[in-house]
């Protein structure tokens, strides 16, 4: 597919998830995660959770593509994430970044 499939439409009306400070991350205090591009200006957000199930996402032009639901980290203080649908075939194009918990 063309590179423009990497730009991911984010649903701004989706729920915002809050931190649960009683849960620790298995495996340490930092990990490498995919960095998902969210705009034309090069902004990338860390994907801290990705579903195992593939869903059908609707792109801006109305076409449907297979996608994974995920949580993208907006801020660590306060911990804030947004829900996004990321095209299933675009994950191979994402770089990795480190996120500290």
Helix (H, G, I), strand (E, B) or coil at 8: coil
If DSSP codes are grouped into helix, strand and coil, which group holds residue 4? helix
CA distance 84 to 11: 6
- Encoding tokens for residue 60? 């801006």
The 10s digit of each residue's pLDDT in 6-56 is: 344 444 454 444 444 555 555 556 788 999 998 888 889 999 999 999 999
Question: What are the φ and ψ backbone dihedral angles of 51, each rounded to 5 degrees?
Answer: -70, 160
pLDDT at 19: 46
Q: What are the extents of the domains in the chain?
A: 3-100
Q: Is the pLDDT of residue 59 over 90?
A: no
Q: Residue 3's pLDDT is what?
A: 39
Per-residue pLDDT averaged across 65-85, rounded? 88
3-class SS of residue 88: helix
DSSP 8-state symbol, 15 = P
Per-residue confidence (pLDDT) for residue 50, from 0 to 100:
92
Average pLDDT estimate for 66-81: 88
Measured CA to CA, the distance from residue 18 to residue 7 in angstroms comes to 25
pTM above 0.85, yes or no: no
């Amino acid at each position: 597919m063309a590179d423009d499939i990497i730009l991911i439409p984010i649903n701004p009306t989706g729920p915002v998830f809050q931190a649960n400070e009683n849960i620790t991350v298995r495996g340490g205090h930092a990990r490498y995660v995919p960095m998902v591009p969210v705009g034309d200006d090069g902004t990338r957000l860390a994907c801290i959770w990705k579903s195992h199930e593939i869903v059908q996402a609707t792109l801006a032009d109305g076409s449907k593509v297979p996608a994974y639901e995920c949580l993208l980290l907006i801020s660590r203080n306060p911990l804030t994430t947004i829900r996004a649908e990321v095209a299933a075939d675009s994950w191979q194009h994402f770089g990795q970044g480190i996120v500290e918990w």
